[in-house]
Structure 1
Amino acid sequence: MKLAWKEMKKSKSKFLILGSIIFLVSFLTFIISGLANGLSQDNAALIKDLPSGHFYLDEAADGTYNLSKIDEDVQASVLKEHPEATAFSIQMGFVNDAEDKQHSVAFVTSTDSDLFEGVKDGEIVLDRSLEKEGIQVGDVLTNNQFSGSFTVAGFVDQKKYSHAPVAYIHMTNYQEMYRVMEMQTLFIPGQDAPVIGGLDSFTNKGFLNTIPSYNAEQMSLNMIIWFLVIISGMLFAIFFYMMNVQKIGLYGILKAIGMKTISLFQMIWYQMLAITAVALLLSILFSQGFNLLAPEGMPFALTVDTILILSAVFLVVGFIGATISGLQIKKIEPLQAIQQGEM
């Protein structure tokens, strides 16, 4: 450890350059991860907030929720057999306020359940983001597909679907607006998934992929994140490889005086750990600062779990990269290394 620290002090500029690059890569990774989590929440908070369970869609819908229609007899049978279950429907639409300003929303209706907001006929409960657009409790909203009007009964926090604020309405109002009697989806909480004839079953994660754009959006961002992680590992491997090539003569002398190969590996690991730990600490601090300075409307959510997972991944990748670069140390013969170093 002392030898590793002495070398880092002696070659400050080299290690500072590597640390700066790792900091920039990890900082960018944390920022993209925060955006990915924020967009995920903004895209599907309504579904992600539900407990673990199973979603059921009509087989004929082929995994497309807005084409699904649950047979009313099947729905009644399932709800009777599973009292904790619920049937719900979602459709994109809009509401007009008193000034005839249009607001995009995702209309949601469901059978009686604690999992969704209960609303009365003619009432509407909105995501709180619409409150910032000037809508208040008691306001009257209209929709061109609805013969009546909606009275705002309240607001809920962080309920989004397909990047639109959720609007809970009564089932009869929903049926009038969209001219359908059947619900789109059945949801049964719990780990056990009963087989229901004519219906396809999806886990929470599987159902998220039925949301248009969700899978493509998350896949693109996650691909960028993992590319950045792999790049950081390659940086460690290349940096320490070049350092080791320059120090072949030194390693030969150290081996000649009795230092074991594992001790040389430990020196590299210590240097990798020190550089990565400092870079990650700065990245975390800067990413939290970015969270505070980011515009209010930007979907950014960097959780503690995400920070810990990414930090562990960076350490593991750094360890692998540094270890691979040090495999040449094992092959060094003291006399040959000393002679090579003298040339």
Structure 2
Amino acid sequence: MKMAWKEMMKYKTRYLILGSIIFLISFLTLIISGLANGLSFDNASLVKNMPEGTYYMESKAEEQYNFSEISDSQRETIENSHGDAVFMSIQMGELEDEDGQKHGITYVTATDNEFFPDVEKGELILDESIQEDGIEAGDELSTNLMDDSFTVRDFAKQEKFSHSAVAFIHPDDFMNMYQSEKYQLAFTEDEEEDIDEMSAFNQNQFLNTIPSYSAEMLSLNMIIAFLFVISGMLFAIFFYMINVQKLGTYGILKAVGVKTITLLRLMWVQMILITLISLVIAISLSQLITLVLPEEMPYQLALETSAIMAAGFFIIGFIGATLSGVQISKVEPMEAINQGGA
């Protein structure tokens, strides 16, 4: 390690350039990951706030929850198998305030459960984000889906679906608005089982049935994957160029008995030091950036996520550096010496 550090200090500029590039790529990757996690939660916090379990949907709906309708016989089958089953419905809609301003929301209703707040007929509980539009508890809100108006009873924290604020309402009001007495979905904390004409999904699978969720996550995850690939290529190219310049030095070292594995270790130590310093700075800044980001920007980056991504960068860096190190194993002492030391 001492030898690796000495060489880095001797050639500060070349290693500073590599460290800066790794810092920028890792910082960008962490920021995009934070935005991806934030968008994911903003898109479907209603589902993410629920425990792991199984969602059931009518097979004929073809993975479109708003077209699903659970029959009485299917509901009875689920209730007999899962005593804790919760039946719920989700529909996009709108509410109009007393000033005539319309607000896009997602109506949610469910049978008695511990995950959603209890709501009385004629009342609703809204996600707290809608308070930014000036709506307060006690306000009267109307909808063109029914004649009676709703009274805002309270606000829930971080309950969104498809980037819309959730409005929890009583099942009777929901059935009256959408002219249906059937629930769309069933949820249980038990493992899935086969039920006739029903499709089962775990939480991640159900999230991917939300069109906006799957499209967003696919795009952002592809960007993150490409950044990892780019970082690996940079390691390989950088160390390849350094190794070309040092072939003569490697030849002399081999001639005096230094083993190839020792030279590879030297390169690995340099890779680890550069990556470690770059990642410490990148992770620190990615956590502190929340202090300057606007509150309305969805950004979530847990330290556990940062640690996992840091491990990914170390693995990619190791692979990239090792691939470039193939040259070291092929160096012939006399041939390299004749080319001159670096």
* 1:24-59 per-position Cα deviation (integer Å, ceiling 9, x unaligned): 111110111011001100111111121111111111
**Whole-angstrom CA distance in 2 between matches of 1:241 and 1:80:** 65
Corresponding residue of 1:73: 73
* 1:133-189 per-position Cα deviation (integer Å, ceiling 9, x unaligned): 222222211111121111111111111100001100000101111111111111111
1:89 aligns with 2:92: no
Corresponding residue of 1:269: 268
**Whole-angstrom CA distance in 1 between matches of 2:201 and 2:287:** 35
1:106 aligns with 2:106: yes
Paired residue secondary structure (2:124): strand
Deviation of 1:342 after TM superposition, in Å, equals 6.1
Corresponding residue of 2:286: 287
Corresponding residue of 1:160: 160
* 1:192-213 per-position Cα deviation (integer Å, ceiling 9, x unaligned): 2121111111111111111122
Q: How does 1:18-33 map to 2 (within 5 A)?
A: 18-33=18-33
Corresponding residue of 1:260: 259
Corresponding residue of 2:54: 54
- After the TM superposition, list the runs of 4 or more consecutive aligned residues in structure 1 that deviate by more than 6 angstroms: none
Corresponding residue of 2:184: 184
Paired residue secondary structure (2:186): strand
- Return 5+ residue gaps in structure 2 as ranges: none
**Whole-angstrom CA distance in 1 between matches of 2:182 and 2:231:** 52
1:170 aligns with 2:152: no
Q: How does 1:173-252 map to 2 (within 5 A)?
A: 173-190=173-190, 192-252=191-251
**Whole-angstrom CA distance in 1 between matches of 2:101 and 2:215:** 31
**Whole-angstrom CA distance in 2 between matches of 1:148 and 1:328:** 78
Normalization by structure 2: what TM-score? 0.97
Corresponding residue of 1:147: 147
Deviation of 1:72 after TM superposition, in Å, equals 2.3
Corresponding residue of 1:35: 35
**Whole-angstrom CA distance in 1 between matches of 2:77 and 2:237:** 63
Deviation of 1:81 after TM superposition, in Å, equals 3.8
Corresponding residue of 1:44: 44
Paired residue secondary structure (1:151): strand
CA contact (8 A) 2:246 2:341 kept: no
CA contact (8 A) 2:57 2:200 kept: yes
Deviation of 1:96 after TM superposition, in Å, equals 1.4
* 1:39-97 per-position Cα deviation (integer Å, ceiling 9, x unaligned): 10011111112111111111111111111111023214422442211010101111112
**Whole-angstrom CA distance in 1 between matches of 2:142 and 2:81:** 37
Normalization by structure 1: what TM-score? 0.97
**Whole-angstrom CA distance in 1 between matches of 2:125 and 2:80:** 27
**Whole-angstrom CA distance in 2 between matches of 1:76 and 1:86:** 12
CA contact (8 A) 2:58 2:199 kept: yes
How many equivalent residue pairs? 342
Corresponding residue of 1:10: 10
Corresponding residue of 1:119: 119
**Whole-angstrom CA distance in 1 between matches of 2:118 and 2:94:** 20
Cα RMSD after superposing both structures: 1.3
Is 198-207 or 161-170 further displaced after alignment? 198-207
Paired residue secondary structure (2:340): helix
* 1:230-276 per-position Cα deviation (integer Å, ceiling 9, x unaligned): 10010000000000000001011111112111111111111111111
